Structure 1
Amino acid sequence: MIFNPRQQELLEWVQRAGHVSVDELAHHFGVTPQTIRRDINQLADERKLHRVHGGASAHSSVENVEYSARKVLNIDAKERIAKLVAEHIPNHASVFMNLGTTSEAVARALQHHIGLRVITNNPHIAMTMCHYADSEVILAGGVMRAKDNGICGEATIEFIRQFRVDYAVLGVACIEMDGTLRDFEMRETRTSEAIIAQARNVFLVVDHTKFGRPSLVQMGHLRQITALFTDQAVPEALLPVLEETGTELYVAEELLGAS
């Protein structure tokens, strides 16, 4: 099927960014949201992208974007989120940190903290934080994935259950509008569930592309999360869920005039 120039540019944008909202697209193209929704529906019917709540996604529900691409995807947003999270973690705290590039951004943002005790199944985080002042990093054992070096599985879960920490910093692939949390792989989600169970406070760190993104495996619910950190206003449909669950919301908005 032949797409018009707007639809072709829309498709290229979604493929490049991973997720784009209807409002962003409508503003960029100078058309109504209804026009953009029709474009998205047509492209989705042709299996060129995925319809998601409030926008379009290039992501499959069964496979994540390659790690090399995720490291640079929405990097500015992830760094703003990370800086805000770091402001809510004190010195001399114990912290669980899981897989994910946003969690890795938080690890970098904690570089000026002292006396941290960090337990992680993410070797990238372990290598980043092992030199921090008066801090100690404990790397979980288990099966290491070739695609991103993440460690997960039954051995990892048993290791995590030995600890009870002050904070957990978690990334996740998807937050659905009813508050359900999802990710792509069973072993990874079970490992994250174990981290949630062993933390006094759970900080969920996600950029705006994760809202309504299709993902396969259920991981938990917002009722288990102390605070949600993101980079843009959350979808309105999620606000009643946050109020019901008592989950605090922090938005690391982009500063006006920032380059």
Structure 2
Amino acid sequence: MFAEERKIKILDRLDKQGKVRVKELSKLYNVSEATIRRDLQELEERGMIKRTHGGAVLTEHTKFEPTFLEKEDKFHEEKEAIGKLAASLIEDGDTIAIDSGTTTLEIAKNIKAKNLTIVTNSLDIAYEIGKRSDIEVVITGGMMRWKTRAMVGPIADNTIKNLRVDKVFLGTNGICIKKGITTPNLIEAQTKRALLKIASQAIVVCDHTKFNQVSFAKIADINEVDIIITDNKLPSKLLDKYKEQDIEIMISN
């Protein structure tokens, strides 16, 4: 087993059990305790866990996941502005993918382009777009998570991997130059990765509170994203840091 694969399994075990012990992991993965300690140290350096005497626990913020309804009313004006700006990037005849989420839903509500094909793993977005006769909607299917109302898992992933789109619009719980874009759930992260892989252009949409936040499961490195669209409350110093990394950030009004 490769080191990264072992770390993913450790994180998955932490997600299910809340804590792990070095001795147990050493026996489970048939490696030395020193190797497990190095794994835990690297995960701690990434901000994903907190080491304890003889083991580790998840850091509080990496696992926290608000529900769709909880997020819906937060920063609504900012999300609406982000949605309008993102929708303006969609051109007539485009084939696009729109990830599930409260910010991405605002994109669907503000699409002006015509003759589109849209792939989505969101029933809310499919319903919104379904009001348009000039848009063909492809729903991924899959297991719907109650918390986020996203369809995820193997069925969704298998549908997605056989498609190709011009642009993908992804939501995220955390975005960080060093640690990439992240979300609290491993299965949902995998489906987001699947959407990312089929697109010629990757566009992440998120309000300013998601910056410098790190959640449990990694979706992608920051250099895999072409454009980040956010609101006008992002601090200028933080914006400059992203520009220094040649990351394009579009600011909504």
TM-score (norm 2): 0.71
> Which residue is equivalent to 2:110?
109
What residue in structure 2 maps to residue 67 of structure 1?
A: 68
- The CA distance in 2 between the partners of 1:238 and 1:75, in whole Å, is 22
Unmatched 5+ residue regions in structure 1? Answer: 1-58, 254-259
Query: Against the structure 1 CA distance between its residues 115 and 132, is the aligned structure 2 distance closer, same or farther, given a 3 Å change threshold?
Result: same
Q: Structure 2: 5+ residue runs without aligned partners?
A: 1-59
Give the Cα separation in 2 of the matches to 1:238 and 1:78: 18
Q: Which digits, 9 at most, give the CA deviation of each residue in 1:42-86, with x for residues without a partner?
A: xxxxxxxxxxxxxxxxx8321211221211110000000111111
Q: Distance in 1 between matches of 2:211 and 2:236?
A: 8
**What one-letter code is carried by the residue in structure 2 that aligns with 1:120?**
T
Offset, 1:168: 0.2
| Match status 1:174 vs 2:207 | no
CA–CA distance in 1 between the matches of 2:127 and 2:180? 31
What is the aligned-residue RMSD (CA, Å)?
A: 1.8
Work out the CA distance in 2 between the residues paired with 1:176 and 1:164.
27
CA displacement at 1:235 relative to structure 2: 6.0
Q: How does 1:103-182 map to 2 (within 5 A)?
A: 103-110=104-111, 112-178=112-178, 180-182=180-182
Q: 2:216 & 2:71 partners in 1: Cα distance?
A: 18
Distance 2:118 2:86 in 1: 15
Contact 2:140 2:156 in 1 (8 A): yes
* Cα distance between partner residues in 2 of 1:160 and 1:243: 33
- AA at the equivalent of 2:167: Y
Q: Residue by residue, what CA displacement relative to the aligned partner does 1:182-206 show, whole Å, maximum 9, x if unpaired?
A: 1010011111111111100111100
Deviation at 1:133, TM superposition (A): 3.6
State percent identity of aligned pairs.
Answer: 25
Whole-angstrom distance in 1 between the partners of 2:235 and 2:161: 32
CA contact (8 A) 1:99 1:171 kept: yes
Cα deviation per residue 1:90-132 (whole Å; 9 max; x = unaligned)? 111111111211011111111x321110001111100000121
Q: Give the match's secondary structure for 1:61.
A: helix
- Residues 84 and 127 (structure 1), Cα distance of their counterparts in 2 relative to 1, 3 Å cut: same
Deviations 1:153-192 (A, max 9, x none): 1221111011110110010000124251110100111111
Q: Does 1:184 align with 2:177?
A: no
With normalisation by structure 1, the TM-score equals: 0.70
Specify the code of the residue in structure 2 equivalent to 1:72.
D
Query: SS of 1:60's equivalent?
Result: helix
Q: Is the 8 A contact 1:231 1:251 kept in 2?
A: yes
Aligned residues: 193
CA distance in 1, matches of 2:158, 2:240: 35
Closer, same or farther: CA 237–209 of 1 in aligned 2, 3 Å? closer
